[in-house]
Structure 1
Amino acid sequence: MVRRTGTGGEPDIINTAVDCTAEYLIQIGVLRGNFNLTLRMEQPPPDDDAPLAAAERRLARSLLHRWRAEADAWDMTDPEPLPVRWTPSRCVASAGEHLPAGSGTDTIAGTFLALRPRRRLVVLGTAGSGKTVLSVLLTLELLARRLTQGEDDVPVPLMLSLESWDARRQSLAEWLVDRLRRDHPGLPSVDGVHPARRLVLERRVLPVLDGLDELPEHRRAEVLDALDTGLGGGGDVVLVSRTAEYAHLDRQGKGLRHSTVIESLPLRPGEVAEYLRKARPRSRAAAWAPLLKTLREEPAAPAAWALSSPLMVWLVRRAYEQGPADPGTLADRERFPTRDAVEAHLLDRIVPAAFPPVPAHPGRLHAPRTWDAERAHAWLSYLALLLNRRGESELAWWRLHTAPLPRLLALPALLVTGILLSFAVKAGMSGAAGGSPSSGFLGSTEVAIGVVTAALARTVTTAWFGERLAEPRRSANPLLFVRALRSLDRHARVGPLVRLAVLTGGPVLVVLLLALYAVAGDPLLVSLSVGGVLPVLLMIVYAAPADTVDAATPGELLRGERSALVTTLTLVAPLIGVGTSAFLWLDGGSGGWKAVIGSCAGASAMLVLLSPWSRWLLAKCSLAVAGRVPWSLMAFLRDARAAGLLQVSGGTYRFRNRRLQEHLAGRRAEARGTAGSAPWAVPFPKLSDPRESTVERTADHYRLRGRSRTLPLAHWAVVGVIMGTFVVRMSVSGQWHQPVAWLSLLFWPFLGALITAVGFLKPRRPLELELTRDGVTSVFGRRRRSYAWRHVEEITVRRAIVRGRDARFHALQVRLLADAPRPPRRSRMGEGWYLVLSTGPSPHVDPGLAAALADFAGPRWTPPSGGG
């Protein structure tokens, strides 16, 4: 405050406040003269991270609600968290390298946050030992610390399955960004865009990755390499796997770098007894008493050993929660003499306990949905067996059509549906023309043109996307054209030059054809542009497959496929109809609405009947008629998930535990690769089969000779597409009653069978494998492959990868050093591996051959996991 004398002799009082945060200014005293108040307030710097922090909190709340629901379904925290313990793993050399002192008494989240200098945690354990429980408890505690305790430096854990990551096509960051965008589309935008990229790049999310052991063997090392690359120098991660699979990778030097490895410990019988005492209903205390007494007083009893697993504790709670089930029978050693007997009994009881009979209230109009326990057990057992045969753990509705029964009924269903559709189309066309529906089938030419054009568009799209076209598509929105363009570019199987040529040259070609028509007047140019090139371009754009596991739920993915199908029909089929009609009309023929409707109907039938949605409908209906699944399959899967038997992994379902899947399938999981043979050839016989081969062995030489033949099957993929097109064309156009049409259709399977028979009857080709001190050489037919040991980094038996696809058989393969000469392209197996010789469907190697490989290859030889 400054006081000075004014011009009138009265004092002027001037107050100046700089950077003042006060809301009120009080001046005490007698004031005379002028009073001047100046406030110099500087605006606080803008908080650019406030919108991102809000999106981060929204994500944390969403994940907390989701995983609390999962934990409640699995009884993880009711009445208290399961007493799961852990210790530094003994199977990994650097297990406790970064483990802080006293971590054994801390919570799993406290142990993780105390890791220095990097927070990279690997959680190991056997089947059902509590790995998933530890990861879920870690997720819940980190989210609780972030939201309730205000610890802003705690990252938001994002728990994902590694089965959804194709490390060959997406980096770790891009995969996490895609998952966040699809799983959490409602996050508040930052700078007008979804905050997923900033959340990932600024490392505000913590990937908690489960299911490394469930990946095919050839993908595990690939995923770990991509994970190391994606994490860089300071990225954090939590990795969950079974002990044996990760230890095998670690011994090969492929473990996660700079990580701390812990292993879940069995539950203590006394702690389990106290946990069950608090969890049991008070009214059933007497029924639980014998089992609890056994757990406290007989820690070596079979029941105590069985209940050392969190999975079994959850099973015993669910199976004996309600009467008249008696948990005391588990303590009977005569009835359950071994741990396996107790576990098998609990696994058998879980489905009836998950679907108890619920009588309807007499006053309710609609009874609640109930599922018969016996039928539910049969349905789940079939689905589990189907997954085991494929060596998978994710149940995807769009792959259900690959079951034997839907595949058998595919062509008959196409024919019947096409015939029914032909009656409906012809009835509508005859009604529009004022005729009778039974007056004959009209417009077969227009229908045939529509079918062939749609088949051509689908063929081009299949060449663009490959196998991904058989997967559900994103919810195609015509207004989101740029987003669809990005999707088709990301999932394209063709090279960048082809993509650039099609996406830029396609629209130019349409304009050029129309310009040529204006000059030359040829109606074929209009048909090619409007009804040919333009539908193909739109088909490619709006057939862009979604990242299948990126949908929030399987139901949303199914709705997205239906929406994409409707969009494709709305845009592609009418253009084909208009192009056909324009050609016929400009050529002086009978164009008009009849040609448009006929061609559009044929194109629509082709697009619908060969879509993932129609295949799903065929699979569900055929399996439901056979009693393999319920008619309301999606509702049943949702209820099974609510009962704790299943869990949602993106757009697919998974069983609560892999062991539960194996038990329901009626057998233990078999080694991967026994699900079938390659789609183009039968694998070669085992190299060491004495009936097919001879072995010569000296100190410096090993030679295995035999003869083998292949069964050509590659052409059946093309034959199947042609047959499908003929069936749709013949049925929709009304030619199904003409013998000539049937002869044309039957010609193709006859041709396919003839090619297969000729290939099989060809003389058997020689097969030879030779090992020397200098290298390895293989011969099959006229193809000879030779690799010098000085160029080989590793040799082992792996799954064969042909053109980026799992060939479903194993082969002896080598990985070459960086400076080694590269073999021909046909020897490439992907991921830097090269083919030596196929060994058949099993990864096991004969002991004699394994001993020879260990002798001649030395440390380069790595026995396959589970093999000799």
Structure 2
Amino acid sequence: MSAVRGTVEPASVVGLLLASVTFAYDTASFLRQQPGGASRPVAALADDLARTVEKEWLSESRARGLRDHGVLPLSWMTERTADGPEGAAVTLRLSGRLDGDFDAAVQRMAESFDQLAGRRMVLVGEPGSGKTVLAILLTLGIVKSRPEGGPVPVLLSASSWDPIATPKLDEWVAQAVADTYYGFKREAIDALLAENLVIPVIDGLDEMRESGRRTAVQRTNESIRQGRGVVLTCRAAEYADLIAGGSPTLHQAPVVRVEPVAVEDVIRYLQDVPWPPEVSWDDVYAELRANPQSPVGQMMSTPLMVSLARSVYQRLGGRPADLLKQHVYESRYDVEDYVLDQVIEAAYAEAPAPDETGPRFYRPPDVAKATRWLTYLAVDLHLHGQRDLVWWQLAQRLLSPWVPPVVSVAAGMFLMALVSAGISVLDGDHRVGLVATIAISAGTGAGFSVLFLVVWFASGTPSPRRILVNRHGAFARCRDAFLTGLAAAR
């Protein structure tokens, strides 16, 4: 009996290890597998992507408060008409208003977009005017009104596109969508692009480097095929400079401008806010009605600045009438800077006071420390010409360029000393001479230092990865893993 046990137990252990490895491999494959898979019908892939896009941007619209009835109204109107197939102007008036009826605004945006023969559009507006909000509305409108198996809009940030390094629009769209929705695998999105089932909504053309904007429009015109829809958003001044500089316009695409917020809309919005007792906007209301082009009137013409001013005075209190000091604030930018200087303090002032049900180890927010950190991040983005925070690269930027060579030399010297000590201990008969010991230990340390530097600079900074779970075929994979492990154990 003991002999039998002696032969069975090692095999069982090996089988158990093989089963564990197989199960781990199948689990990893299960987690890495993209949703759906490119082997499914293209129409089914489009419908799956549409459901994901709709869920994502509905959640984002709720987070931004776009579905609230008290939302600040947002209006848009055609600025320039589109060029027809033979150069003739196509007269279309695309206008609308978001004033709390979210679903109606989404539907109007989709209907306006469907009127365009080429399904192409350029959205322009002032900084903070709501271009991204309109891009979200348009994305949701298209995805809600699309037929089964129809084209799917995908909202992408233009700042991630380098049209010089990646000249083809489809190549960039495929990579960006794969990174966001398909776990970095491109089979499904490539299949959708091949069937013309993707409508890129490219937000923030102005966030690209100035030298790349004209190229981006050129590449977009070269890449879009007949019937392919595309939407660009850009600040009004940057787009005007782009066209004045000789850039081609987007083929068959009208330019839709986001309108400034009307004075009465601003007043009605602020009157509905529960203000602290000492906060009174009466003087500001009077100035807005009497002189809408004053510095404070221009500042309050964009949703971004209105919402920031609301946050500052709702959380910190104070006198909004201070915004009217003409001798201090000579332009809208002076007023904006005054408000922006208080945004961080206002954001942290919202932190709740500790109570019996709150965190046990509560610490009040440190506004000075937060200001210092956020300032550092802003300066870092400016120095590197970036609009998006690439947080996983911060560690490399914080290190001095002398860190790798110093660490490699120190590690090499430590290894050299360790090898020398090891030779001295193991070579009791002193067969290895002093020169040979030094040569071996020095060669080992130097080789390790060189290898360390090669690995350091060759590895770079990997991008973070996303884990996507797909239930399709999960039972079959787990069953196969179990049977393989069971067979190995037997």
The answer to whether the superposition gives a TM-score over 0.5 is yes
Aligned to 2:240: 247
Cα drift, residue 128 of structure 1: 2.6
Aligned counterparts of 1:49 and 1:123: Cα–Cα separation in 2: 30
Match of residue 160 from structure 2: 164
Aligned to 1:293: 285
SS in 2 for 1:321: helix
Q: Any stretches of 5+ residues in structure 2 without a counterpart?
A: 1-39, 98-103, 427-436, 468-490
What is the rounded CA distance, in whole Å, between the counterparts of 1:212 and 1:289 in structure 2? 36
User: Within 5 Å, which residues of 2 pair with 1:225-264?
Assistant: 225-251=218-244, 252-264=246-258
Q: Distance in 2 between matches of 1:285 and 1:264?
A: 35
- Deviation of 1:433 after TM superposition, in Å, equals 8.9
Distance 1:89 1:180, change over 3 A: same
Q: What is the CA–CA distance in structure 2 between the aligned matches of 1:345 and 1:433, rounded to whole Å? A: 71
- Taking the TM superposition and a 5 Å limit, the aligned residue runs for 1:336-415 are 336=329, 338-356=331-349, 358-362=352-356, 364=358, 366-367=360-361, 371-397=365-391, 399-400=393-394, 406=399, 409-411=400-402, 414-415=405-406
| 1:89 alignment partner, SS class | strand
Amino acid of the residue matched to residue 411 of structure 1? W
Contact 2:72-2:265 at 8 Å conserved across structures: no
Report which of the two structures shows the higher radius of gyration computed on alpha carbons: 1
Q: 1:173 aligns with which of 147, 164, 170?
A: 170
Q: CA–CA distance in 2 between the matches of 1:124 and 1:426?
A: 66
Q: Secondary structure at the match of 1:227?
A: helix
1:443 aligns with 2:433: no
Cα gap change, 1:53 to 1:394, in 2 (>3 Å): closer
Query: How far has the Cα of 1:62 moved from its partner?
Result: 4.0
Contact kept? 1:92, 1:247, Cα under 8 Å: no
Q: Kindly state the Cα deviation for residue 366 of structure 1 after the two structures are TM-superposed.
A: 4.3
The 8 Å contact of residues 199 and 205 in structure 1, kept in 2 or not, is answered as yes
String of CA shifts for 1:718-747, please: whole Å, max 9, x gaps.
xxxxxxxxxxxxxxxxxxxxxxxxxxxxxx
SS in 1 for 2:258: strand
1:323-342 alignment runs, 5 A limit? 323-330=316-323, 336=329, 338-342=331-335
Q: Deviations over 1:219-277 (max 9, x none)?
A: 22221121112212221111011223322332415221111112222111101111233
Mapped pair 1:100 → 2:92: yes
Please give the alpha-carbon distance, in whole angstroms, between the structure 2 residues aligned to 1:394 and 1:284: 35
Asked if 1:472 corresponds to 2:472, the answer is no
| Mapped contact 2:312–2:346 kept (Cα < 8 A) | yes
What is the rounded CA distance, in whole Å, between the counterparts of 2:422 and 2:354 in structure 1?
A: 49
Structure 1 equivalent of residue 194 of structure 2: 201
* Cα offsets for 1:265-324 (capped at 9, x unmatched): 21111011112333x23x647735426733664353543321101220121122122253
Alignment partner of 1:87 is 2:85 = no
TM-score, scaled to structure 1 = 0.41
Q: Which of 317, 320, 325 lines up with 2:313 in the alignment?
A: 320
Identify if the C-alpha distance between structure 1 residues 445 and 421 changes in structure 2 by more than 3 Å, giving closer, same or farther: closer
Secondary structure of the residue aligned to 1:392 is: coil
Q: For 2:224 and 2:57, how far apart are their aligned partners in 1? A: 25
Q: Could you report, residue by residue, the CA deviation over 1:75-109 in whole angstroms, capped at 9, with x for unpaired residues?
A: 55544443222233369999994463463569462
Alpha-carbon distance in structure 2 between the residues aligned to 1:213 and 1:314: 22
Q: What is the TM-score normalised by the length of structure 2?
A: 0.68
The question of whether the paired residues in 2 share the 8 Å contact of 1:124 and 1:242 is answered with yes
More helix by share: 2
Q: What is the CA–CA distance in structure 2 between the aligned matches of 1:366 and 1:317, rounded to whole Å?
A: 32
Distance 1:299 1:372 in 2: 39
The Cα shift of 1:457 comes to 7.5
Larger strand fraction of residues:
1
Residues 155, 204 of structure 1: 8 Å contact kept: yes
- Compared with structure 1, are the counterparts of its residues 456 and 57 closer, same or farther at alpha carbon in structure 2 (3 Å cutoff)? closer
Aligned length: 405
State whether structure 2 residue 137 is matched by structure 1 residue 130.
no
Structure 1 residues 399 and 112, CA, compared in 2 at 3 Å: closer, same or farther?
farther
Describe the superposition over 1:150-198 as per-residue Cα deviations: whole angstroms up to 9, x where unpaired.
Answer: 86487433222222123344322222222222211369x9xxx852223
Are 2:408 and 2:452, in contact at CA under 8 Å, matched by a contact in 1? Answer: no
Q: Answer yes or no: is the 8 Å Cα contact 1:161–1:211 preserved in 2.
A: yes
- Give the partner amino acid of 1:159: L
Query: Counterpart of 2:206?
Result: 213
> CA–CA distance in 2 between the matches of 1:295 and 1:130?
24
User: After superposition, where does 1:249-648 map in structure 2 within 5 Å?
Assistant: 249-251=242-244, 252-278=246-272, 280-281=273-274, 284=276, 287-290=279-282, 293-294=285-286, 297-300=289-292, 301-330=294-323, 336=329, 338-356=331-349, 358-362=352-356, 364=358, 366-367=360-361, 371-397=365-391, 399-400=393-394, 406=399, 409-411=400-402, 414-415=405-406, 418-419=409-410, 422-423=413-414, 443-452=441-450, 470-472=460-462
2-structure distance, mates of 1:139, 1:250? 26
**5+ long unaligned stretches in structure 1:** 1-46, 463-468, 476-550, 553-868
Summarize the alignment of residues 103-114 of structure 1 with structure 2, pairs less than 5 Å apart: 103-104=95-96, 107=105, 109-110=109-110, 112-114=112-114
Answer whether contact 2:217 2:248 (CA < 8 A) is retained.
Answer: yes
Amino acid at match of 1:290: D
**Does the 8 Å CA contact 1:97/1:260 hold for their aligned counterparts?**
no
SS of the residue 1:100 aligns to: coil
Name the SS for the 2:201 alignment partner. Answer: strand
**1:733-767 residue CA offsets vs partner (Å, 9 max, x unmatched):** xxxxxxxxxxxxxxxxxxxxxxxxxxxxxxxxxxx
Q: How does 1:183-194 map to 2 (within 5 A)?
A: 183-185=180-182
In structure 2, distance between residues paired with 1:292 and 1:376: 31
Change (3 A) 1:178 1:316: same
Map residues 664-679 of structure 1 onto 2, 5 A cutoff: none
Higher relative contact order (CA 8 A, sep 6+): 2
Superposition map of 1:18-37 within 5 A: none
For residues 658-669 of structure 1, what are the structure 2 equivalents within 5 Å? none
Whole-angstrom CA distance in 2 between matches of 1:423 and 1:371? 44
Q: Hey, what's the Cα distance between the residues in 1 that align with 2:270 and 2:150?
A: 33
Give CA deviations for 1:313-346 in whole Å, capped at 9, x if unaligned.
1211221222534445435657656533321211
For residues 332-366 of structure 1, what are the alpha-carbon distances to aligned partners after superposition, in whole Å with 9 as ceiling and x for unaligned?
65765653332121111111112225443355554
Structure 2: distance between partners of 1:153 and 1:302: 50
Distance of 2:420 and 2:290 partners within structure 1: 81
Q: C-alpha distance in 2, partners of 1:432/1:325?
A: 76
Deviations 1:647-687 (A, max 9, x none): xxxxxxxxxxxxxxxxxxxxxxxxxxxxxxxxxxxxxxxxx
